[in-house]
Amino acid sequence: MTGRHDLHCHLDGSVRPGTVADLAREQGIPLDRPVTELVIAPADCGSLTRYLTYLDLPLRVLQTPEALRRAARELVEDWSADGVVHGEARFAPQLHGRQGMTLDEAVSAVASGLAEGRAATGVRTALLLCCLRHQSPEESLAVAETAVRRRDVVDGLDLAGDERLYPGAPHRPAFDLAHGAGLPCTVHAGEAAGPESVWEAIDVLGARRIGHGVRSAGDGALLERLRRDRITLEMCPVSNVQTGAVPAPAGHPATRLLAAGLAVTIGTDARTTSATSLAREFAVLRESAGWTAEQERLAQEHAGAGAFGNRPADAP
C-alpha cells in the first residue's frame, strides 16, 4: 500500500481546536483563554506530565457519544487531508464516563465516527484501546475485556501513561487476556523512562510495538532484540522534543535506529496538542536531520508491515 501510515495517534489529543470550542459552547463550559492556548502545548513543555495537561479540556468535552463520534470522524478527515491512507486512533474509553457513558458506548461512538470518516474519505482505519499506567490492574482488565468483546471494531490494546512513575507489570493480566484472544498489543515505553521500561514492555507485557522507545538507543542488547523480533517503534519527533524525551529533532534517534535496521515508524502522537501532521513530522526530519525520500519510504514500509488493523472504507 502506498501513502502515509499514522500508527500512533491519540484521539483526545487530536480534536480540532474549533471543535473543542464548539463542544464547550454547546455544553456550557466557559473558556478563560483562547481555545488554542488551552489545547496546543508549547514547543518545550519540559516533561510529559505538563504536556498531558493540554488534554484536560478535550477530555472534558468528549463525554457524550455525539462528541466522540464527531471527533473520530473529523480525525479521519484530517488524516485524508494529510495524505494518510491508514490511520490508527487510540483512546482510553474509561476516561469518558463522567456523564455515565459505559466503556462499550464510548467504543461504539468512536467506531461509528471512524466508519463515517472511512466512508467519506476512503482512509483505512484501526482502533486501539488504552489501559493507563496510573489506574488499577482491575481497571485495565475491564478495558482489555471490552477490547476482546468488541473485536468487531477494536484492533489492538495499548498501555499509556508515564512509565517513569508507574510500572507496567501490574497490568499484565489485561495483556495476557488480549494475547489469549489474539489481540495485538503496543505499549508506551522508553519515552519518560529508560531501556528497562522497553524490556518490561516486551518481556512482561508481550508488546509487538513500542510507543516512542526513544530511550532505547543506549542499550545494545535491547536494540538487537528489537531488530531480531521486528518490534515496531512508533516514534513521534515533534512530541518527543516537546516532552523532553529528545533534546532536539536533529539528534532524534529515529535516524540512527532506522539506519541500523530497526522497524522505525513516524507518527503524530497528538495532532492538536503538538500542532502537527504526518507531513510536518517528516518535514521536521528532513530539515533538522537530513532525511531523504528513501528514509521516509522505509519508515512507511515499516508502518505498513506493523499495522494492527486495516479496515476498508466499506467496513462497519
Looking at the DSSP assignment, which residues form a beta bridge with residue 9?
89, 269
Q: Are 24 and 221 in contact (CB under 8 A)?
A: no
Distance (Å, rounded) from C-alpha 181 to C-alpha 5? 25
Nearest to 212 by CA among 247, 186, 230: 186
Q: Which of 191, 200, 281, 296 is catalytic?
A: 191
User: What is the DSSP secondary structure assignment for residue 188, as one 8-state letter?
Assistant: E
Distance (Å, rounded) from C-alpha 5 to C-alpha 45? 27
C-alpha cell recorded at residue 211: 510507543
The verdict on whether 191 is a catalytic residue reads yes
Residue 126, classed as helix, strand or coil, is strand
227, 222, 269, 110: CA torsion to nearest 10: 80
Radius of gyration of the chain (CA): 18
Q: Are 83 and 39 in contact (CB under 8 A)?
A: no
DSSP 229-278: TTPEEEE-HHHHHHTTSSS-GGG-THHHHHHTT--EEE--B-TTTTT--H
- The set of catalytic residues is 191
